[in-house]
């Protein structure tokens, strides 16, 4: 469907733009929310596509420089997972309050998994793929802020986006 392709492209652009706009704010980003709610709006496959392409472009265009390949692969895979997960969360959300709570919890859990995955990618980059625990542990202080900010972002927009996604799915 052409409109879904256009919406997918717009959401990819939004994800990359939010990533670049917030690049100077440590551990606060909007790409995850865009990808997650893309899955809710467009389905798991499109959400995964938005996640993978948005993160791939953001990482390659990052003014601080692109990530090393193992980290880039972890970023792309992790964000694709976040995008796919939005579709599942939409199915589980039953009320506006429940949607906000579910979105916030989903944001926290998925951000934590994303951080573990990317920290593992960094361990691989450093040649420590068999002993990644020190790298994962070293990332915990940074992950705390990332998880907290994403819980707030996801919960803040969750009820609104889930209600729009339901009406869009019902209409189309």
CATH number of domain containing 146: 1.10.1760.20
User: How much is the pLDDT for 3?
Assistant: 62
Residue 59 C-beta-side C-alpha neighbours within 13 Å: 20
- What's this model's pTM, rounded to 2 decimal places? 0.92
Q: What is the CA radius of gyration of the chain?
A: 16
User: How much is the pLDDT for 169?
Assistant: 67
Domain count, the chain: 1
Percent of residues in the chain assigned helix, strand, coil, to nearest 5: 85, 0, 15
Q: What is the pLDDT along the chain (172 residues), one digit of tens a residue?
A: 456 899 999 999 999 999 999 999 999 999 999 999 999 999 999 999 999 999 999 999 998 899 999 999 999 999 999 999 999 998 888 787 889 999 999 999 999 999 999 999 999 999 999 999 999 999 999 999 999 999 999 999 998 999 888 887 665 4
The domain containing residue 22 runs over which residues? 2-171
CA–CA separation, 86 vs 66, rounded Å? 27
| Residue whose C-alpha is closest to residue 27's, from 104, 139, 102 | 139
User: How much is the pLDDT for 172?
Assistant: 46
User: How much is the pLDDT for 164?
Assistant: 86
Q: Torsion angle, CA of 9/21/149/123, rounded to 10 degrees?
A: 80
Between the alpha carbon of residue 29 and those of residues 6, 18, 32, 82, the distances in Å are 23, 7, 7, 14
């Amino acid at each position: 469907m052409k409109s879904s392709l256009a919406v997918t492209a717009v959401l990819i652009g939004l994800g990359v733009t939010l990533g670049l706009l917030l690049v100077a704010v440590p551990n606060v980003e909007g790409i995850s929310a865009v990808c997650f709610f893309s899955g809710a709006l467009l389905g798991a496959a499109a959400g995964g596509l938005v996640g993978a392409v948005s993160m791939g472009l953001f990482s390659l265009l990052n003014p601080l420089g692109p990530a090393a390949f193992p980290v880039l692969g972890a970023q792309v895979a992790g964000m694709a997972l976040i995008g796919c997960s939005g579709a599942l969360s939409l199915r589980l959300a039953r009320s506006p309050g429940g949607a906000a709570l579910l979105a916030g919890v989903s944001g926290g859990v998925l951000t934590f998994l994303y951080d573990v995955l990317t920290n593992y990618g960094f361990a691989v980059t450093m040649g420590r793929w068999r002993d990644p625990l020190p790298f994962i542990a070293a990332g915990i202080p940074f992950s705390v802020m990332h998880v907290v900010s994403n819980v707030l972002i996801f919960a803040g927009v969750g009820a609104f986006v889930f209600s729009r996604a339901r009406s869009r799915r019902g209409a189309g």
